[in-house]
Chains A and B, each alone.
Chain A
């Protein structure tokens, strides 16, 4: 059975259909790339899966159990963690405090939470910044922090919203390796990303959405050849 099953997911904002009848599933240990043009509804899909926005219709099941209607903190407890496209650190707290807050979800004792936080910080390569205020970090390090916070909640499924946006090519390589390592650690990943180099390299499977609907699904190399995908990105003439 798939770890995550999404069926007929739909969300209207007023008269606008941001996501329409979207169905897909993700297997345990898989990296699924979620791509599509700007405004395709990718972030809305993440917001729907994590309880920040409630679906107008459809089912979302983690391990067979519905997560629809849960508030975000309850979804996190079930084991779905997310990062935000525009990073949301706790700016006035130190890097270590940021991650410790997330670690409290699985380790209620402060000492345990701090130990877990430090361990995760060294995994994402941020241990040397542990004592600095989050707001003082570079963008790359803020993205690492965003990832560390999500990991500290002990997720089974990790939703990454453009973790590589704004990074330079060598930073993208570092970030890609990091995502692969996280998967090796037993975490399933859904990755929204515009950096095609990263998507092509690390995704097992790619799901393409446009105007809130699925237009293609399959292996990375195949999907980018599909006429519907080319049309969505480059217009009909290119296809």
Chain B
């Protein structure tokens, strides 16, 4: 029990003291991005890493979360901290029919279907101007005054966003950890290993995949809601871009498919690579993502976290009742 909780406690403490150590607000900005990407990588990982269902359309779920959070705030005055989970729920709801249709397909056909769905959602956002403002998008000019423990929250500092991002990232990682120890998680691994064999031993593969997609969509939608809340501006190009889908794939794969810690490692890697080359290239960072992804697939298919775990298990005694992964 202690060994299982210890890393979570250490992580929570590290997250709590990090802002105090931050030399400047750019550092905190990078930390916020890493936490947001951790959540998104975890979202993709529950479906792609555990169930082996490779989605190229998670941008759609992210975008739906972003739009719902934004529209609820601007048109109904719903504060973003309510809007973010509602955005997640909206994405989960939309994912249900998508799952029921796309999961009739397997392997590469499923992946292509998700790509198509993402394009459809983007076209809808571009053209349904009465709801989405079309290509113009939405802008938040100010956030509502709010006080916490008597002190009013300063939205101009990065600290409140950091706190929200940290909570969301922890939620993403905790759901992955829960999934790994749950029966549903075991079913997903069975589906990844052999879908026919999974059905043959009585696993309702469609139900397991649809439930997991809904969880994945909920997390990705909350990520989108957070994006809207933090950057205060969304349009179809920003929140429904295919590159978002690819970045989620990148994080999960480079970090370590089907692992709990992988998305965090992948997010750190992606953000550091992205931010360090963004200065010099407009979209050139995408080339570097591609390069690193190829290198990872070729030389480290289990990802950075997966490899680190394997190396560590050689030196550390195995925790009983706690398999690899």
Chain A CB within 8 A of B200 CB: yes
A88 adjacent to B199 (CB under 8 Å) = no
**Shortest Cβ gap from A102 to chain B (Å):** 4
Chain A residues with Cβ below 8 Å from B189 are 90, 93
Segment at the B interface, from A71-79, A164-172, A208-216: A71-79
B168-206, CB < 8 A from A? 183, 186-187, 189-190, 193-194, 196-206
**Shortest Cβ gap from A209 to chain B (Å):** 22
B200 adjacent to A101 (CB under 8 Å) = no
A152 adjacent to B201 (CB under 8 Å) = yes
- Rounded to whole angstroms, the CA-CA distance of A84 and B190 in the bound complex is 16
Chain B residues with Cβ below 8 Å from A108 are 183
A84 adjacent to B200 (CB under 8 Å) = yes
Tally chain B residues at the interface, Cβ within 8 Å.
Answer: 19
**Shortest Cβ gap from A93 to chain B (Å):** 6
- Contacts A73-B205, A89-B194, A91-B194 known; A82 to B186 CB distance under 8 Å? no
Chain B residues with Cβ below 8 Å from A84 are 196-197, 200
- Contacts A88-B194, A91-B194 known; A76 to B200 CB distance under 8 Å? yes
Chain A residues with Cβ below 8 Å from B202 are 73, 76-77, 102, 104-105, 153
B183 adjacent to A76 (CB under 8 Å) = no
Interface of B is mostly: helix
A88 adjacent to B186 (CB under 8 Å) = no
- Rounded to whole angstroms, the CA-CA distance of A91 and B189 in the bound complex is 11
- Contacts A73-B205, A93-B189, A104-B183 known; A50 to B200 CB distance under 8 Å? yes
**When the two chains form the complex, which single residue of B190, B194, B200, B205 contacts A82, counting CB atoms closer than 8 Å?**
B200
From B195, which residue of chain A is reached at the shortest CB distance? A88
B193 adjacent to A71 (CB under 8 Å) = no
Chain B CB within 8 A of A233 CB: no
Chain B residues with Cβ below 8 Å from A52 are 196, 199-200
**Shortest Cβ gap from A18 to chain B (Å):** 18
**When the two chains form the complex, which single residue of B183, B193, B204, B323 contacts A73, counting CB atoms closer than 8 Å?**
B204
Residue among A52, A71, A73, A153 facing the most chain B CB atoms (10 A cut-off): A73
**Shortest Cβ gap from A112 to chain B (Å):** 11
- Rounded to whole angstroms, the CA-CA distance of A72 and B204 in the bound complex is 8
**Shortest Cβ gap from A114 to chain B (Å):** 10
B199 adjacent to A72 (CB under 8 Å) = yes
A71 adjacent to B204 (CB under 8 Å) = yes
Q: Mark A102-120, 1 if CB is under 8 A from B, else 0.
A: 1011001010000000000
B204 adjacent to A88 (CB under 8 Å) = no
**When the two chains form the complex, which single residue of B197, B199, B205, B323 contacts A90, counting CB atoms closer than 8 Å?**
B197
Chain B CB within 8 A of A92 CB: yes
Chain A residues with Cβ below 8 Å from B194 are 88-91
From B208, which residue of chain A is reached at the shortest CB distance? A73
B197 adjacent to A76 (CB under 8 Å) = no
Chain A residues with Cβ below 8 Å from B190 are 90, 93, 101
Chain B residues with Cβ below 8 Å from A152 are 201
A135-150, CB < 8 A from B? 149-150
- Contacts A90-B189, A90-B190, A108-B183 known; A76 to B201 CB distance under 8 Å? yes
Chain B CB within 8 A of A81 CB: yes
B201 adjacent to A93 (CB under 8 Å) = no
Chain A residues with Cβ below 8 Å from B198 are 73, 90, 101
**Shortest Cβ gap from B27 to chain A (Å):** 40
- Rounded to whole angstroms, the CA-CA distance of A90 and B190 in the bound complex is 6
A149 adjacent to B186 (CB under 8 Å) = no
A17-72, CB < 8 A from B? 50, 52, 71-72
**When the two chains form the complex, which single residue of A50, A100, A149 contacts B197, counting CB atoms closer than 8 Å?**
A149
7 contacts between A and B (CB under 8 A): A73-B203, A74-B204, A76-B200, A81-B201, A101-B198, A105-B203, A150-B201
Known: A93-B190, A101-B203, A105-B203. 17 other contacts (CB 8 A): A52-B199, A71-B199, A71-B204, A81-B200, A84-B196, A84-B200, A89-B193, A90-B190, A101-B201, A102-B202, A104-B183, A104-B202, A105-B201, A108-B183, A149-B200, A150-B200, A152-B201
